[in-house]
Structure 1
């Protein structure tokens, strides 16, 4: 699925033309504090290429999000992750600071869960959040995910939430 939309957002498959928007997003300290820290433009380019390759391998991945007015809002998607040796598909989202507090993460989360369930027929999804990231944890809980365990992912302490698709 190359594109989709929600009530307030449009989503487009990640591509090279999104680099400038992603660089801006990843340079914001507040946005990046729970994403492994600020990424340089070079690191963001590597990130972009890796996530484009994910699309080529799996047929899904990250989308860039825009408001109905066309303003860059952030990025979100579904991607394969390995957490402490276990393979899963993760729901992921990050928004520009100007978009925080508007319920957009919950809106995109619901859409991603629907894609994972109805189109990809995944048995479950996980959500990873920094232990301290209360806002992201609330979004996962409101989206029906339940706390499964604490883990270490990329050297950081995280909580792993899971949504079993059979329970939907």
Structure 2
């Protein structure tokens, strides 16, 4: 899609949704402290481009809230059934090799690792993107060494499309179509 092509604005029916074990709420200012803690964990941030300062995370939050306003979808904050912050996940426009794509994205707190939450949310994001938003395809962009995220997308029926380099890092692109 080039910049002259009008984009159909799509939106999810609600700013909230639930999976079997997670609740999701449209990202907003109240999530800043949780996002800062998430982004400052070196293990969590290893495959997110590195640890981010509070200021960088605040700008990240503003950018992602604006994405919602512009496109009618974006990132959600995730909580477990007991209300604990588990991470963030969603769908967002991203340029990949000069092509506007919609990326499935997720990051979880270390306390949420190994519990199947990434697979659970990947299935939900894929359903929302392909069914509710009627997007033609979604991509996952994963650092080559992030074996766990690669497995999540493969279990969710994403297909390895190609290797590429983004911001000096070797990544793989996975895709699923409608």
Classify the TM-score, shorter chain.
over 0.9
SS class of match (2:76): strand
SS class of match (2:30): helix
C-alpha distance in structure 2 between counterparts of 1:47 and 1:152, whole Å: 22
Matched, 1:78 2:115: no
Match of 1:144 in 2: 157
Matched, 1:36 2:39: no
1:44 Cα deviation from its structure 2 partner: 0.3
- Extract unaligned runs of 5+ from structure 2: 1-13
1:84 Cα deviation from its structure 2 partner: 1.1
Task: Give the structure-2-normalised TM-score.
Answer: 0.91
Matched, 1:14 2:27: yes
- Residue by residue over 1:69-101, the C-alpha shift from the partner in whole angstroms, topping out at 9 and shown as x without a partner, is 100000000000111111110000000001100
Match of 1:131 in 2: 144
1:103 Cα deviation from its structure 2 partner: 0.5
1:58 Cα deviation from its structure 2 partner: 0.3
Task: Give the structure-1-normalised TM-score.
Answer: 0.97
SS class of match (1:160): strand
- Residue by residue over 1:14-34, the C-alpha shift from the partner in whole angstroms, topping out at 9 and shown as x without a partner, is 000100000000000000000
Of 46, 57, 68, the match for 2:59: 46
Matched, 1:106 2:127: no
Matched, 1:4 2:12: no
SS class of match (1:144): coil
1:153 Cα deviation from its structure 2 partner: 2.0
C-alpha distance in structure 2 between counterparts of 1:138 and 1:102, whole Å: 14
CA contact (8 A) 1:148 1:159 kept: yes
CA contact (8 A) 2:130 2:177 kept: no
- Extract unaligned runs of 5+ from structure 1: none
Greater percentage in helix: 1
Aligned residues: 165
C-alpha distance in structure 2 between counterparts of 1:153 and 1:12, whole Å: 29
